[in-house]
Amino acid sequence: MNKISIIIPIYNEAETIRSVLLYLENVISKKIPYEVIVVDGGSTDGSLEQINISDKIQCITSEKGRAKQMNAGAKRATGTILYFLHCDSFPPQDFDLLIEKEINKGNQAGCFRMKFDLKHPLLSICQWFTRFNHKSCRGGDQSLFVCKKLFDSIIGFDENCIIYEDNEIIERLYAKKQFVVIPHYLITSARKHKQNGVWKLQYHFGVIHLKKRMGHSINSLQEYYNRNII
């Protein structure tokens, strides 16, 4: 029988982590075994005090860095399916069964379509493109499921990636011809767009993607991100 391990990396997310954990308890089908692994990167805001919700949830600590934290969660996981989820993203009802259905069809990795929790014309366009199964339409906010065996075979996330770690592993999964987009919607927070401004943030994200395509180093992408994005 399949078991799904839901892995959520956090750093100073006291205001968000409890709400997503409660939400998951309400929407997961509980028809297949599951576990939730919260991977803390050294929070100092009381995030860990918000996690004790059910015996299905465990918390581990890791060196800060989303790629490192997600790899640490994958090492701890006992499931046959890994599901990486940002702490401000909310998957659809019975998401575990939707994922298992794709796994049983032979699709070893994939994500959901995505909608933002903010109405804005530019965000409406961006979220519309998430229905297409092409790597240029992908991002970590859509979440990621992958069979544990496949994840291990590609050696997980690249821990050299301080940013862009989701896109980097997704590119490798596409190269393996193992990616599907489930036609159900995950809702993700637009809080970073609110902090930075929608047009400004999407511009800078576009520059980062272009820099990556042009062969810029991860350090170059990180420096650009640090200069321009809150």
Asked if 64 and 31 count as a contact pair (C-beta separation under 8 A), the reply is no
Does the pLDDT value for residue 162 go beyond 90? Answer: no
Distance (Å) of CA 61 to CA 69, 108, 137, 227: 8, 28, 31, 28
Q: What is the pLDDT of residues 106-123, one digit of tens each?
A: 999 999 999 999 999 999
Which domains does the chain show, CATH number per domain? 4-189 (3.90.550.10), 191-230 (no CATH)
C-alpha–C-alpha distance, residues 19 and 70, integer Å: 20
Q: What is the pLDDT of residues 32-85, one digit of tens each?
A: 999 999 999 999 999 998 888 788 999 999 999 999 999 999 999 999 999 999
pLDDT number for residue 14: 92
pLDDT number for residue 219: 86
Q: What is the pLDDT of residues 179-222, one digit of tens each?
A: 999 999 999 999 999 999 999 999 999 898 898 889 888 889 88
Does the pLDDT value for residue 1 go beyond 90? Answer: no
Question: Whose CA is closest to 147, among 180, 120, 186?
Answer: 180
Phi–psi pair at 89, nearest 5 degrees: -120, 140
Residue with token string 């339409």: 137
Token representation of residue 58:
């465990």
Mean of all residue pLDDT scores within the chain: 94
